[in-house]
Amino acid sequence: MSRNCPDCEKPLAPQTLHGVELDICGGCAGIWFDASELRMLITRDSLALASLEERYAPSVEPTVHGDSKRRCPDCEELLQQYNYQYSSTILLDTCPDCAGFWVQEGELVAMQHWIDADRKPAAPDEKDKLAVAQFTFEHHQKTQRFDNVRGMLAVLHYRRLR
């Protein structure tokens, strides 16, 4: 079954990037990602999103769709909107059936900016809080290890006494 663009209904063309096969619309430059393809792509190249945006530009100006409903290129289910990484303002469309999702032209760069902002160093007071949290966590882990060793030694001592 050939896949068609959820926006302009033109056939999607398979393109391979970093070993991941994506389906790209030659008309509006939208990209269909199957369920795990975005994760694989970002894992293989942390700057892949921006390079994809640069590589595939729309041949025409993207149209504004407002409340129109998009359909999955695979199974024709109505796509549902969700926020990328839950708290961003970037809205993506996903298929509730096959878990693929549609990315419009311009959204990959927005996603890359969101990822980059998440990796920025924390403010000084946040760094202090993070350091305290890290120390507390490591202390808890060491205390737990000592308790485990103490318990093991108590069992060995008990067995030796018997």
Tell me the sheet residues that pair with 24: 13, 31
pTM higher than 0.75: no
Sign (positive or negative) of CA dihedral 44, 50, 52, 54:
negative
Of 89 and 37, more confident:
37
pLDDT band at 58, cuts 50/70/90? low
Neighbours of 65 (CB within 10 A): 12
Query: Which pLDDT score, from 0 to 100, does residue 34 have?
Result: 92
Q: Which residue has the tokens 């303002």?
A: 89
pLDDT in tens, 34-57: 988 988 988 888 888 877 777 776
Query: Which pLDDT score, from 0 to 100, does residue 50 have?
Result: 76
Query: Which pLDDT score, from 0 to 100, does residue 22 have?
Result: 92
Query: Which pLDDT score, from 0 to 100, does residue 117 have?
Result: 79
Query: Which pLDDT score, from 0 to 100, does residue 57 have?
Result: 60
Torsion of CA 146, 148, 149, 150, to 10 degrees: 80
